[in-house]
Structure 1
């Protein structure tokens, strides 16, 4: 069901949450198993987006099959998100989650991968489970335009026949300057609350809006919170996102929320648990995913630091032996997207209201 009362409202009255103040968030609050049936989440002015249907995740490798599945998510994916073209619309921005024509994809590439990470739906392979999940359930041009073109006047829009210079200027205004985003320039406190709410509700659409409306990039917001919260025992944004995973029909876990945030430059927590009692509280798949992402981002996003920083090299052999082949599969299929070095920052931690503990029998938010 949609959440018509804004990003902090849950559809069920039994799940009412208070974001009036922030306090400690228990890391290992029990999470209810995910239902295999599909549900949708929507944002104000946008169309429903599938966020929890975990059945049939595997994608065929044949050219065109993936494109057809992305187009089936929403009818708006049949046309370019920026110019409205209906030909060669087979490119995708995997962090903005929109489908593009070949000309607009070039304009997106010129912005840099820190703004838009462009891939081909017919030429590139997507073997990573989390990226496949996002492509199949969260790519929606209607949602993206409801955010980034909310106040766009018809006269400012471009058409499929736009010149290269006009196209480049439009794309820059839309995604870099965020010229037509409603409610942009939100301060740090508001942005942080919106991110927390999006993770808690497991809503990619709400996280998209939170990132677009924030005055600062996601990396900067998380780094600032890290600095302010250094020394506490609260949960990092990455760990919190990792705990909000979805279970597929085959019983395995997919970490799409964490993946989406990492694609948008969330700083990764390098403090992998090593204490045996703590390790027991984490699914092996979560640790595998964590290690795989450290292999990709660890030397770039060295942002979660402490007096004793625990990395994958600090993990005892006992823990490493518990890993399955998932880690190797993930490691071989993940590409490095951001090449910009990011300075080390103190521990990125987050505090939340105690009421966010989820009962064992809670179902995922509708």
Structure 2
């Protein structure tokens, strides 16, 4: 136990035996770093047992010393208090809670000062007048807690709350947790920590300025992705496009000012050079006159030697400077830059004209689209294409005009001269400058080509694709060229189409799980009718923003996609609609066209299956008018599998798994399913790899997702549903059994897998490279025999060890003829029958499909049961 920790965290508990404090977590706004205060039972009393800092992303312990301060409370149960940085203003309480009935609520009270006591808090709450800024109150009903009614043990929930560090700093933060039935308040526990002094606005401003100080330029090898990010030209309307316009608009005065100053300074330098030449002659003349007055110096040849030496110094400098002024800072070039960037006549201001055209086209297009989408049957596609083209071209012209302030012919000519000026004598200028100038030329050529492509579009779908995906759009991360260092030989890759594998497995692994764009929402912005919004799908959540130009002003709380269903919607009056259905609400959206609608549905469907449970944890600050959000961590959990007899058609199996998948899987005897199969962690072990049938912790599940779903298909045992064959397969989850062959030769010390990179490398070796498996040459033979016998565990082992699922085999069709069929078609002859269930379950076929077996169209000539044909047809349609 941490002795200092126990002496610095005063925990005062009430009488309740239903709720206990397990851990206090203090974190910053972005939840990047956490201060963790662990609580456990010591000598029949709950005390602080450990205090540490952790990196939230990697879960690594940060070796930052914990600081303490003297406890100056009037009534103090500890001599010290934990000192906390005011940036850690998000408060998480990990609680152990037993289910209970009744109309009760939990109340969290946060106060400042050493004199706060339970009696004054009770009086304040009973008054119902929450008007003190130094006291914050949050409340949630017991009925809203996601507690399992049939679980008698304690269940862990994490309550997300916070406090105002502008109010509570340089003082004690008191946290009280109470329970109320509406008439009285029962004390559950309270604790104290010290919140350090908040930096002043002036000091913060100084620090910010220091952080913004530009770094010294360093020569680095730039990758393809660096140039793509620097030279992108995103036209898809929304916050990113509008921010790009704003960024360029803000640069214009700076460009104009700096060019004007540069020209003035160069004129000053030129005049100074002339004065310098005149001064040189005068200095030599004066020295000569002085030397003549000396009877000895003329005999030393002093005047000649001084004049030559002095002129050499000046001439060397004058020649260099004249060359720079006439060639590097060419007057014609600078005059052209000035003419491009200076607007003397407002009536002939080209920028104003182009900007006005863009704004008018934008207003006209969206007004027209609103009417078009309400009844597009009466408006032809050709009219829409014309409107869209005009709008897209106005966007292009305005963005291009703005970007050309720093990327025009004359500005590029100036920098080319500067590059030559600093180049080596034996080289016109260094290769990285050559590459940069080549990229500039190609970038401008690609912009010209993009405008031509927009003008030449024949359909709206073609225009949609060009705007969203062209050679100037930032490429996806899975482009195999992204990390290549740019050379003069591969510079063409920067603006070339992406180069990536085209296999179905790769496409599945790199499916898109994020998207943003403009949608019309029914009842959008909390108003009746259809309203334009900015919608973002990211990190497994959908967020709506009323200001589509900036992506600000969130409309409601994020929608966790894992808990929704998504489907297209046929609306009599509106086209291109889809709906998102949550357990409590339905959301209806309309895309700009059918292609966009399908793209949204696809991304939402992908994101639904890739959601991390941490996304369901709302870290926003909670006030008394808002309910707290909780994260339930069920610690409860399956039955063992059964092997078949020699060459059966089917085998009898156990009962189907109940809906508490996590509890059932953990109850499988001698399975170690409560321990992560990859790192041996026992915390948050509630994720499953469906094609290896191993149970994982949340950190290892993240590594499995990193490998791609073509390698490991990860699902949540708490959040996802399992139906039919996939539900029956859960009975065969067995970490201990499967690791006997997956890690047979491993000597890796799992306790040293501390970082995400170490963990990922080990998991790739285990599942992709199969480094720890004893190699066998007869895996395919064993696989066929195990399917024949319906030996599920042996099927799992052989496939996990690398057997080929896409085998073909020969079976006897009649007494004389043989028939060639695939292993999948043969597996459809084998099924499981569940007790008390009148249904056949093709779990071997399901497992083979999970591991990438290819299926063809249903062949009715095969000798299969009607149930097998139905299963085959359903799977073929799903994977088509």
**With structure 1 as the length reference, what TM-score do the two structures score?**
0.57
CA distance, structure 2, for counterparts of residue 76 and residue 56 of structure 1:
21
Residue 57 of structure 1 aligns with which residue? 656
Which residue of 252, 258, 262 corresponds with 2:845?
258
How far apart are 1:161 and its partner, in Å?
6.3
- CA deviation profile, 1:283-319 (whole Å, cap 9, x unmatched): 322121111111112x3xxxxxxxxxxxxxxxxxxxx
Of 826, 829, 833, 1:240 maps to: 826
Aligned counterparts of 2:795 and 2:654: Cα–Cα separation in 1? 23
Aligned partner (choices 282, 291, 296) of residue 878 of structure 2: 296
Distance 2:855 2:743 in 1: 30
1:20-31 correspondence to structure 2 within 5 Å: none
Verify the 8 A CA contact 2:651 2:833 in the aligned structure 1. Answer: no
CA distance in 1, matches of 2:766, 2:657: 33
Deviation at 1:217, TM superposition (A): 4.8
Distance apart, 1:113 and its partner CA: 1.1
2:799 to 192, 211, 236: 211
- Residues 710 and 852, structure 2, Cα contact 8 Å, conserved in 1: yes
Task: Give me the whole-angstrom Cα distance separating, in 2, the residues matched to 1:244 and 1:143.
Answer: 23
Aligned length: 229
Q: Which structure is larger by alpha-carbon Rg, 1 or 2?
A: 2
Q: CA deviation at 1:252?
A: 1.0
What SS does the aligned partner of 1:179 have? coil
Larger relative contact order (CA 8 Å, sep ≥ 6): 1
Is the 1:148–1:180 contact (alpha carbons within 8 Å) kept by the matching residues of 2?
Answer: yes
Aligned position for 1:110: 706
Q: 1:139 maps to what in 2?
A: 733
Q: Measured at CA, do residues 161 and 213 of structure 1 come closer, stay the same or move farther in structure 2, by a change above 3 Å?
A: closer
Equivalent residues in 2 for 1:329-344, closer than 5 Å? none
Q: Deviations over 1:237-281 (max 9, x none)?
A: 1121111111222221111111011111112242420x5xx6xx5
- Tell me if the contact between 1:98 and 1:141 (Cα under 8 Å) persists in the aligned partners: yes
Q: Distance in 2 between matches of 1:39 and 1:166?
A: 33
Q: Is the 8 A contact 1:148 1:174 kept in 2?
A: yes
For structure 2, list consecutive stretches of 5 or more residues without a partner in the other structure: 1-638, 645-649, 810-816
Structure-2 change in CA distance of 1:180 and 1:38 (3 Å): closer
Q: For the structure 1 residues 262 and 66, does the alpha-carbon distance in structure 2 shift closer, same or farther, using more than 3 Å as the test?
A: same
CA distance in 2, matches of 1:76, 1:52: 26
C-alpha distance in 2, partners of 1:165/1:210?
28
Q: CA offsets per residue over residues 210-235 of structure 1, 9 Å max, x none?
A: 22333x7534xx3xx48xxxx97233
CA contact (8 A) 1:199 1:244 kept: yes
Q: Following superposition of structure 1 onto structure 2, how do residues 83-102 of structure 1 map, counting pairs within 5 Å?
A: 83-102=679-698
Alignment partner of 2:800: what SS?
helix
Instruction: Out of 92-101 and 156-165, give the one that drifted further.
Output: 156-165
1:52 deviates by: 5.6
C-alpha separation in 2, matches of 1:108 and 1:296:
23
The structure carrying a bigger strand percent of its residues is 2
Task: Give the drift of 1:116.
Answer: 0.6
SS of residue paired to 2:819: coil
Aligned equivalents of 1:239, 1:168: Cα separation in 2: 35
- Counterpart contact for 2:640–2:732, Cα < 8 Å: no
Answer whether contact 1:89 1:101 (CA < 8 A) is retained: yes
Residues 21-54 of structure 1: CA deviation (Å, up to 9, x unaligned) = xxxxxxxxxxxxxxxx986349xxxxxxxx9663
| Cα distance, 1:130 vs structure 2 | 0.3
Secondary structure of 1:235's counterpart equals strand
TM-aligned CA deviation for residue 200 of structure 1:
1.1
Cα distance change on mapping 1:101 and 1:38 into 2, 3 Å: closer
Partner of 1:309: none
TM-score, length-scaled by structure 2: 0.25
Contact kept, 8 Å, 1:147 with 1:181, in 2: the verdict is yes
CA RMSD in angstroms comes to: 2.8
Q: Is the 8 A contact 2:666 2:673 kept in 1?
A: yes
2:26 paired residue number: none
CA–CA distance in 1 between the matches of 2:877 and 2:830?
21
Instruction: Indicate whether 1:130 and 2:732 are aligned.
Output: no
1:99 positional shift: 0.1
